[in-house]
Amino acid sequence: KDDLIILGIETSCDDTAAAVVRGNGEILSQVVSSQVKIAFISLYYVKADLLAKYGGVAPKMAEEAHSLAIDPVVQEALHKANLTERDLSAVAVTIGPGLSLCLRVGVQKARKIAGQFNLPIVGVHHMEAHALVARQWLTMTRMQNDFLDLFNNIHIGQKDTSGHNLLVLAHNLGQYTQLGTTIDDAIGEAFDKTAKWLGLDMRRSGGPAVEKLALEGDAESVKFSTPMKQHKDCNFSYAGLKTQVRLAIESKNINVGKYSNITVFPVPIFVLLMTTLGAKWAFQRVAVLHLEERCERAIEWALKIEPSIKHLVVSGGVASNKYVRARLDRAVKNNSLQLVCPPPSLCTDNGVMVAWTGIEHFCVGRFDPPPPADDPEDFM
């Protein structure tokens, strides 16, 4: 297993990412498009503008950005690992869920390499990758000598079209009991829209911008009700909270967006931001409270199914939020479990999680044979 070397490719949303990982979990390289100095800076600005405008990912733009970035990103990943395609054992690629136009770019690249160099190919589920990367991280940080036999996982923060929050009890590789899912919007989407309506800088995504400004503030200045209080299940709903935030902002006539680009007037912007601090803090508090409630119930349910569980794994973009981590840590400790939360670079979309999930599946014989070298371009 230590001899295995797998390239992982991730293009499901707006980040083009690739990584090379060894069978024992060692990360040989990790590249995300935003780190690669490619001559498409202007394109990234266009993308950033679109992100800010729509408060989300514009599929066609994202596809174009992926198409431009995919070759340099993969090349950089191999280069950093000091390897060529010939050294690889297999190629792993995210096949869903995600934006189909974007997924296609990654899959085409993976099939091209696999066909050319006669390599097996592993199709990876994005959510499973978010979950399983915790095992790679645990293996590497030696918190655990071997993989966890059993863990339950919550993935939070997916924001693409099929994006959701998912709570699953993981029995084994590929064997999961779903405890809860998203019935409308995911928490990441709510963070993104809140940032958009408050006119915050969305160049990367809305979550970090809200987190930065929500650290301090008077949570009582705006009252939001916690979603689905009356539903005693583990499902998530953020559409109602989103509406509450929008109405609060509209009723207070807080339009930071109008001013956010005018850098020559920092003082008014500052004053406006101060008045909206309450909304952000109250939003983050209630959003995370909903998450906490669902996780606590999920732990209760999971313990009934598997009394031996020891960990709650939290992953996905929103899991890089410090307040989320702190609150979930508290909830988990109340139940004498341990919170496992990989570092932010492994929580947001990345190539390592794909390569690692590829390794896990490859080792139990779940992979496809190499595609023909003259693979038709339009196979999907």
Assign 189 to helix, strand or coil. helix
CA atoms of 171 and 306, how far apart (whole Å): 9
Cβ atoms 114, 296 nearer than 8 A: no
317 binds ligand KG4 (CB under 6 A): yes
Q: Under 8 Å CB-to-CB from 134, ≥6 apart: which residues? A: 148, 151, 153, 313, 315, 340, 341, 342
Tell whether residue 160 is a contact of ligand KG4 (CB under 6 A). yes
- 293 binds, options ligand KG4, Zn ion, none, Cβ within 5 to 8 A by partner type: none
Instruction: Give, rounded to a whole angstrom, the gap between the first and last alpha carbons of the chain.
Output: 32
Other beta carbons within 10 angstroms of residue 37's beta carbon come to 8
Q: How many CB atoms lie within 10 A of CB 39?
A: 8
As a whole number of angstroms, the distance between CA 256 and CA 146 comes to 50
Footprint (CB under 6 A) of ligand KG4, residues 348-377: 348-349
Residues paired with 84 in a beta bridge: none
Which one of 188, 227, 342, 351 is in contact with ligand KG4 (CB under 6 A)? 188
Tokens of 41: 């800076």
**Beta-sheet pairing, 27-32 with 90-96:** unpaired
- Does 316 sit near ligand KG4 (CB under 6 A)? yes
Tell me how far, at minimum, the Cβ of 365 lies from Zn ion, in Å. 26
Q: Whole-number minimum distance, CB 374 to Zn ion, in Å?
A: 33
208 binds, among Zn ion, ligand KG4, none (CB under 5 to 8 A by kind): ligand KG4
CB of 160 to ligand KG4, least distance (A): 5
Q: Is 379 exposed, middle or buried (0-12, 13-18, 19+ CB in 10 A)?
A: exposed
Within 10 A of 372 (CB to CB), how many other CB atoms are there? 11
| 349 counts as binding Zn ion under rule CB under 5 A | yes
Q: Please give the residues from 211 up to 250 whose contact with ligand KG4 meets the rule CB under 6 A.
A: 211
* Residue closer to ligand KG4, measured from CB, 212 or 333: 212
Q: Tell me the closest approach of the beta carbon of residue 190 to Zn ion, in angstroms.
A: 15
Beta bridge partners of 99: none
Q: Which of 185, 143, 141 is nearest to 164 (CA)?
A: 185
Residue count (the chain): 380
Q: Angle at which helices 187-197 and 266-305 pack, to 10 degrees?
A: 170
Please choose, out of 65-73, 74-82, 107-115, 185-193, the segment that lies near ligand KG4 by the rule CB under 6 A: 185-193
Q: By C-beta, is 241 or 318 nearer to Zn ion? A: 318
| 64 binding ligand KG4? (CB under 6 A) | no
Q: How far apart are CA 321 and CA 127, in angstroms?
A: 18
Interface with ligand KG4: number of residues (CB under 6 A): 21
Q: Which is nearer to ligand KG4, 316 or 370 (CB)?
A: 316
Binding string, 302-341, against Zn ion, x = CB under 5 A? ----------------------------------------
| Nearest to ligand KG4 of 311, 325 (CB atom) | 325
320 binds ligand KG4 (CB under 6 A): yes
Q: Could you say which of 72, 120, 207, 217 contacts ligand KG4 (CB under 6 A)?
A: 207
User: DSSP secondary-structure letter at 164?
Assistant: -
If one asks whether residue 281 binds ligand KG4 (CB under 6 A), the answer comes out as no
**Smaller CB separation from ligand KG4, 138 or 156:** 156
Report the interface residues with ligand KG4, using CB under 6 A: 13, 157-160, 163, 188, 191-192, 205-208, 211, 316-318, 320-321, 348-349
Report the interface residues with Zn ion, using CB under 5 A: 349
